[in-house]
Structure 1
Amino acid sequence: MSGALLVAGTTSDAGKSVVTAGICRWLKRQGVKVAPFKAQNMSLNSFVTLDGAEIGRAQAMQAAAAGALPEAAMNPVLLKPGGDGRSQVVVLGKPVAEVGALDYRDRKPALLRIALDCLADLRSRHDVVICEGAGSPAEINLRDRDIANMGLAVAADLPVVVVGDIDRGGVFASMFGTLALLSAEDQAHIAGWLVNKFRGDARLLQPGLDMLLQVTHRPALGVLPMLSGLWLDAEDSLDLAGVMARGTSGPPAGSDVLRVSVVRVPRLSNFTDIDALAQEPGVLVRWATRPEELADADLVVLPGTRATVADLAWLRDQGLDRAVAEHAARGLPVLGVCGGYQMLARTIDDPVESKRGEVDGLGLLPVRIAFAQEKTLARPVGEGYGEVVHGYEIHHGVATVEGGEPWLDGCHAGSVWGTTWHGALENDGFRRAFLREVAAVTGRDFVPAPDTCFAAAREERLDRLGDLIAEHADTDALWRLIEGGAPQGLPFVPPGAPS
């Protein structure tokens, strides 16, 4: 068996990533050797594989759902938007260029060949590959150079299931409109619909589903209910409301709650670093874009960014630089991760991302940053607070530490900590030790829960996605598509057909 399926969506954030992960987990439970695939991903949330390749964080999450090791072939093309209308192009895990949108179009034919080779390679080594589209398959202005949606489906002869977000409203119109805008060749690959994020009694939808079948000749393959509290690896900033509107995951073990304010810089990247804090009982995590939103925080976090110097300028424009400095001056904890760590330095010399040369940092850590042309991609292992710590690095900035105390690969001075390591807080023992130190510095009666396991919590969320597919999708129909491809002879639906 060497089956495959493409999960597309009527819009960005329709639920393609979680549906792909759910199908992967459902198949894994059936004893199927399955892998995820996304030909082209635009995301600032990325991950480093064991062999040092950078891929989208969502594909790493989907690989975990599939029980497979993440690899570059699962996301052969990754676009990382910068601060000047340009994006870094990462191909097979390594950065190859900085391009604008029009420049990138010229590269697409060659990138499609690379994507098809990677998909063929994955199919040769797995029973099934579940592919995820990007944006919408009906972006007709981009169709002639598409490599992630119908361009991939036609070239690789894939059946396509389209996911629509009913919580936004207009799901039936968006499904019909998606199909009607496609060419006859593309429509032949559209096999059915998945209604996602439904609240209420699914029987109320039946008249709409019946009419959808009548006008598109494609059936609904399931109505998936809204799931809350998943906290899965978000792909882009559209997901931030769900990522951070969490409150705490349970009551504190002590009498106090720890309040964490995360500065939401414009080009935020790898905000998955905050997940481990947000799932800790008694820790309240919030976004902050104004100085007053740091006022009652016990811990301020400066997260990663794709554009350190540009986002540091934004920080100063908002007055957040002074608020962070005042927080530290009061002896209250500040944590910088990757780009946030670079912002805390004395100086930043950047001839690479911003090409601004040397600029002043916030000066809260005895560190100087110099940007290298070569990106660091690594999976370091170290020790902190007597605990083993695994992390991953994705950065151009190289830090020279001139004082303070060592802290992972970075430093700790006063109440300020910094590191280039993403994922460090996912290590349970290290996270608990750090939170105990934050509580001691702030005088809070906060005690980390002794049995919180971030890896187990993530597995439980992936299992919920597997349950979502098993219980609410037409799995027999999915099997038929995976094994047999798109149904033959489906009618072409011209625009305006319902009238």
Structure 2
Amino acid sequence: MSPAGALLVAGTTSDAGKSVVTAGICRWLSRQGVKVAPFKAQNMSLNSFVTHDGAEIGRAQAMQAAAARVEPEAAMNPVLLKPGSDQRSQVVVLGRPVAEVGALDYRERKPALLRIALDCLDDLRSRHDVVICEGAGSPAEINLRDRDIANMGLAVAARLPVVVVGDIDRGGVFASMFGTLALLSAEDQRHLGGWIVNKFRGDVRLLQPGLDQLRELTHRPTLGVLPMLPGLWLDAEDSLDLSGVAAAAPAGPPVGRDVLRVSVVRLPRLSNFTDIDALAQEPGVLVRWATRPEELADADLVVLPGTRATVADLAWLREQRLDTAVQARAAEGRPVLGVCGGFQMLGRTITDEVESGAGLVEGLSLLPVRIRFAAAKTLARPVGTAFGETVHGYEIHHGQAAVEGGEPFLDGCREGAVWGTTWHGALENDGFRRAFLREVARLAGRAFEPAPDTSFAAAREQRLDRLGDLIERHADTGALLRLIEQGVPADLPFVPPGAPVPPGAA
């Protein structure tokens, strides 16, 4: 059976599991032969991706497109916000940056952006059997509802049925679900068709009395209780607080005698941290985040990752005395890798009148490179070679590098044991990653050998299949299909704030 229509997956909070559930439904539908696409009207994320036609979208939507087995495109995430500070964000519309705005300025743009989002959604629906939409934050942000374009504002404008995901692992899931519904207007409540409980541990029979009472209180069914799935490592999405982003343990025992230790500097405005995922998948590679000099001391490789605020994060690096720790490593011939913003920090100078307005800033002087920020953002999908291996990557940066020496390396350079590149995603190329890690191990004096058959693409597919299994085995797929096919539920009663507890629920 081929359903037609769309569904919005909202959440009681950020990080409730909207991205995971959206991806899981996309993979499950794709398995049924349904032509499905993901959609997120507005995303706030420092983790982005470049489509084949050079558009920048949220990395989570690219992941969901992979789950749906379709090519990612700008229409899947028409509005992307990339915070550069607590007060201002870069606004990316249809894959291209259009402005740097504060929260109040952005609010005035929302009616026009809603029209763009609705046009994109209509376009996707015209070309696919089903579109699974993901909300942003919570649909009950009552201070933002009048100009909402990602949650109930989108649902009402596009007549979308809504399911709400709640994270039971953090506690208070029943209160957050009831409270979400009770804060919605009568018009918004009509769109909410059911609940999905996420990250459950234990025997679901112990949860059933709560689910029964939730249905009595809200008149909506629970459409799934999804168990906790540790180790998914799926592309993180819209949270600005990256404290929950943890590096993984080794994927398996080392092939050689030694483990290879990688310390990744956790910059305050860390972006595209998915660059690290492929390292964490490699058997015998231990990846950990670092914020103090001593956390770099025993590392065989230090990585300076991408950042949305290169100059500000370089200042932070110096405040934490991490700059001298990185420079000392390089002087000793110990490996350092800089990616995008991290590469820019490794150069001699940075001239930035665009992102920070700081003008000329001294870099770490570990690579013979001078960086000048351009107003136009580079968005590209380059292909090249390194260590004799073909490498595919993607670029998202304002900084333009003038390389003044060293050995060429993926549009950047190498000087001794220090490498720098503007390319994200390079480490996802299996042959290149193995060759790079062999060189790192040689320089670090480690008896480490990469596994010959580790496939990052296969590992990602396995994780997406686990999400499809999660929906197929633990969600009421029949009820989800009915919502998708039939649209907004009919005749659901309004639940006012402070609704009485049903008899026997106390």
Q: TM-score range by the shorter chain?
A: over 0.9
1:305-355 per-residue CA deviation (whole Å, 9 max, x = no partner) reads 000000000000111111111111111100000000000000000000000
1:330-387 per-residue CA deviation (whole Å, 9 max, x = no partner) reads 1110000000000000000000000000100011100000000000000000011111
Give TM-score, length-normalised by structure 2.
0.98
Is 1:392 aligned to 2:383, yes or no?
no
* 1:202 match: 204
8 A Cα contact 2:265 2:290, kept in partner: yes
Q: Distance in 2 between matches of 1:152 and 1:367?
A: 46
Q: Calculate percent identity across the aligned residue pairs.
A: 84
8 A Cα contact 1:215 1:497, kept in partner: yes
8 A Cα contact 1:231 1:242, kept in partner: no
Q: Distance in 1 between matches of 2:233 and 2:245?
A: 6
Is 1:96 aligned to 2:98, yes or no?
yes
* 1:304 match: 306
1:215-272 per-residue CA deviation (whole Å, 9 max, x = no partner) reads 0000000100000111111114568456424211100000100000000000000000
C-alpha deviation, 1:83, in angstroms:
2.5
Of the candidates 233, 251, 254, which is equivalent to residue 252 of structure 1? 254
Equivalences for residues 64-463 of structure 1 within 5 A: 64-83=66-85, 85-237=87-239, 240=242, 243-463=245-465
What amino acid sits opposite 2:219 in the alignment? H
8 A Cα contact 2:14 2:238, kept in partner: no
Q: Distance in 2 between matches of 1:69 and 1:380?
A: 17
Of the candidates 38, 58, 61, which is equivalent to residue 59 of structure 1? 61
Q: Distance in 1 between matches of 2:179 and 2:233?
A: 31
Q: Distance in 2 between matches of 1:193 and 1:84?
A: 32
Structure 1 residues 482 and 493: CA distance shift in structure 2, 3 A: same
* 1:497 match: 499
CA-based RMSD: 0.9
8 A Cα contact 2:50 2:57, kept in partner: yes
What amino acid sits opposite 2:331 in the alignment? A
Structure 1 residues 127 and 463: CA distance shift in structure 2, 3 A: same
Q: Distance in 1 between matches of 2:441 and 2:495?
A: 62
Structure 1 residues 237 and 432: CA distance shift in structure 2, 3 A: farther
Moved more, 232-241 or 293-302: 232-241
8 A Cα contact 1:271 1:304, kept in partner: yes
What amino acid sits opposite 2:237 in the alignment? E
C-alpha deviation, 1:498, in angstroms:
3.3
C-alpha deviation, 1:451, in angstroms:
0.1
Of the candidates 29, 34, 37, which is equivalent to residue 35 of structure 1? 37
Of the candidates 472, 476, 479, which is equivalent to residue 474 of structure 1? 476
* 2:504 match: none
SS at match of 1:253: coil
8 A Cα contact 1:344 1:361, kept in partner: yes
Unpaired runs of 5+ residues, structure 1, are: none
What amino acid sits opposite 2:253 in the alignment? P
Q: Distance in 2 between matches of 1:240 and 1:463?
A: 26
Give TM-score, length-normalised by structure 1.
0.99
Q: Distance in 2 between matches of 1:84 and 1:211?
A: 40
Structure 1 residues 271 and 377: CA distance shift in structure 2, 3 A: same
8 A Cα contact 1:6 1:158, kept in partner: yes
Equivalences for residues 42-53 of structure 1 within 5 A: 42-53=44-55
8 A Cα contact 2:80 2:91, kept in partner: yes
> Which aligned runs of 4 or more in structure 1 are off by greater than 3 angstroms?
236-243
* 1:21 match: 23
Unpaired runs of 5+ residues, structure 2, are: 502-506
Q: Distance in 1 between matches of 2:246 and 2:432?
A: 22
Q: Distance in 1 between matches of 2:175 and 2:479?
A: 23
Of the candidates 487, 490, 493, which is equivalent to residue 489 of structure 2? 487
SS at match of 1:70: coil
What amino acid sits opposite 1:432 in the alignment? R
SS at match of 1:244: coil
1:270-322 per-residue CA deviation (whole Å, 9 max, x = no partner) reads 00000000110000000001111111100000000000000000000111111
Q: Distance in 1 between matches of 2:245 and 2:30?
A: 26
Number of aligned residue pairs: 499
Q: Distance in 2 between matches of 1:208 and 1:380?
A: 52
Q: Distance in 2 between matches of 1:207 and 1:239?
A: 34
8 A Cα contact 1:234 1:240, kept in partner: no
C-alpha deviation, 1:171, in angstroms:
0.1
Structure 1 residues 152 and 236: CA distance shift in structure 2, 3 A: closer
Q: Distance in 2 between matches of 1:316 and 1:442?
A: 25
